[in-house]
């Protein structure tokens, strides 16, 4: 993230939420690349729009796009805080997208103190709230984790011939229900409406312990994601 980096190449890193990006912003790791950071907002539409803005921004040549953020676990092997390296990404009946093979292989050289799972990732159009829906998605797609942005951002990179990689951190496991229906608590742009969340929580105070637990898991996931991303940036091949 330094202006005098050795290589005049940019690595673009795209998060969906400010909470996902916050630990990475704070640590500002040193590496041999100029790092352009974007925060899109949740959902496929936001991801596609901001991926295009990030990748079309004039400046040094782009080395790759790294798509980062939270994910829900569909496989029982995935625990909150674990990291997911997307071996493939699927969305509805569209063609499966595969990450760049060189970037994917480079992750093996990046030390990680957190379990890193190479997994099939599914992008959907809403927050998956209930464990029952997670089981249904596994039966339909055989995916191991779910998110809302990766496919669209990866598609934008593929259209431009830019290598990409997707790295996600688990906030909720396969058997976990989320404490609130976050799909009903969003603004028109897809972002969470904090006033509605507060009102929903006040109407259901028994949900507060579960919300606090989700907050702790999300903080853990974001911290683990930032630490591995720093390691990965330092180990990317020339």
CATH of residue 157? 3.40.50.1580
Does any domain span residue 214?
no
Mean pLDDT of the chain: 89
CA dihedral 107, 56, 155, 66 (to 10 degrees): 20
pTM of the model: 0.89
Share of the chain above pLDDT 90, in %: 69
Does any domain span residue 217?
no
Does any domain span residue 200?
no
Which segment of 63-77, 113-127, 129-143, 167-181 scores lowest on mean pLDDT? 167-181
Query: How confident is the model at residue 149, as a pLDDT?
Result: 97
Does any domain span residue 105?
yes
Beta bridge partners of residue 11, listed in sequence order? 35, 64
- How far is the C-alpha of 115 from the C-alpha of 83, rounded, in Å? 6
What is the band of 5 on the pLDDT scale with cuts at 50, 70, 90? very low
Does any domain span residue 196?
no
Whether the predicted pLDDT of 223 surpasses 80: yes
Whether the predicted pLDDT of 67 surpasses 90: yes
Higher pLDDT, 110 or 218: 218
Whether the predicted pLDDT of 184 surpasses 70: no
Whether the predicted pLDDT of 183 surpasses 80: no
What is the band of 237 on the pLDDT scale with cuts at 50, 70, 90? confident
Does any domain span residue 189?
no
- How far is the C-alpha of 186 from the C-alpha of 196, rounded, in Å? 8
Our count of domains for the chain comes to 1
Structure tokens at 41: 């907002």
Does any domain span residue 173?
yes
What's the mean pLDDT in 7-31? 86
- How far is the C-alpha of 154 from the C-alpha of 152, rounded, in Å? 5
Q: Which helix (H) or strand (E) holds 167?
A: strand 164-172
What is the band of 3 on the pLDDT scale with cuts at 50, 70, 90? very low
Query: How confident is the model at residue 2, as a pLDDT?
Result: 40
Whether the predicted pLDDT of 1 surpasses 50: no
What's the mean pLDDT in 173-202? 71
What's the mean pLDDT in 118-136? 96
Question: Which pLDDT tens digit goes with each residue over 29-62?
Answer: 677 888 999 999 999 999 999 999 999 988 889 9
Does any domain span residue 43?
yes
Boundaries of domain holding 143:
9-177+222-235
Whether the predicted pLDDT of 210 surpasses 60: yes
């Amino acid at each position: 993230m330094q202006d005098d980096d050795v290589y005049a190449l940019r690595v673009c890193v795209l998060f969906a939420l400010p909470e996902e990006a916050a630990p990475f912003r704070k640590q500002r790791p040193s590496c041999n690349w100029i790092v352009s950071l974007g925060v899109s907002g949740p959902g496929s539409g936001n991801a596609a729009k901001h991926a295009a803005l990030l990748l079309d921004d004039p400046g040094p040549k782009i080395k790759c796009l790294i798509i980062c953020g939270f994910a829900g676990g569909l496989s029982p092997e995935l625990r909150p805080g674990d990291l997911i390296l997307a071996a493939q990404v699927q969305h509805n009946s569209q063609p499966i997208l595969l990450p760049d093979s060189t970037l994917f292989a480079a992750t093996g050289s990046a030390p990680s103190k957190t379990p890193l799972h190479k997994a099939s990732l599914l992008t959907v159009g809403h927050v998956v709230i209930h464990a029952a829906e997670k089981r249904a998605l596994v039966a339909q797609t055989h995916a191991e984790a779910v998110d809302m942005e990766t496919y669209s951002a990866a598609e934008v990179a593929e259209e431009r011939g830019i290598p990409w990689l997707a790295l996600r951190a688990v906030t909720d496991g396969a058997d976990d229900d989320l404490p609130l229906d976050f799909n009903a608590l969003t603004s028109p742009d897809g972002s969470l409406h904090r006033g509605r969340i507060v009102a929903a929580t006040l109407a259901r105070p028994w949900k507060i312990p579960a919300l606090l637990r989700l907050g702790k898991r999300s903080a853990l996931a974001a911290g683990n994601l930032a630490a591995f991303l720093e390691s990965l940036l330092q180990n990317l091949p020339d």
